[in-house]
Amino acid sequence: MRRATDTGTVLAPLALGAVAIVCCAGLPAMAAVLAGLTLATILGVGGGLVALIAAVAGTVAILRARRRRSCAPTQGPSQ
């Protein structure tokens, strides 16, 4: 007579294999993706902030130069 195999005996190695795949391959891959996204976000926001500061500083410099040119030169005290 053949002995019937128990379902738990067959599924246990498969479950352990699935857990090993998720822990050893899936979790590090997800961590790498999240770390890459975080790094990209930080660099993107930092680059955008630098560009914004440069644009504001350039606008202020241009506006100040225009104001100086548009004002009539003042004459010194007459003697």
Return averaged pLDDT per consecutive 10 residues of the chain, 79 residues in all. Answer: 62 82 80 83 89 95 85 63
Domain layout of the chain by residue ranges? 43-70
Got the DSSP string for 8-46? HHHHHHHHHHHHHHIIIIIHHHHHHHHHHHHHHHHHHHH
At 33, list the tokens. 């993706």
Give the chain's length: 79
For residue 24, the model assigns a pLDDT of: 81
For residue 54, the model assigns a pLDDT of: 96
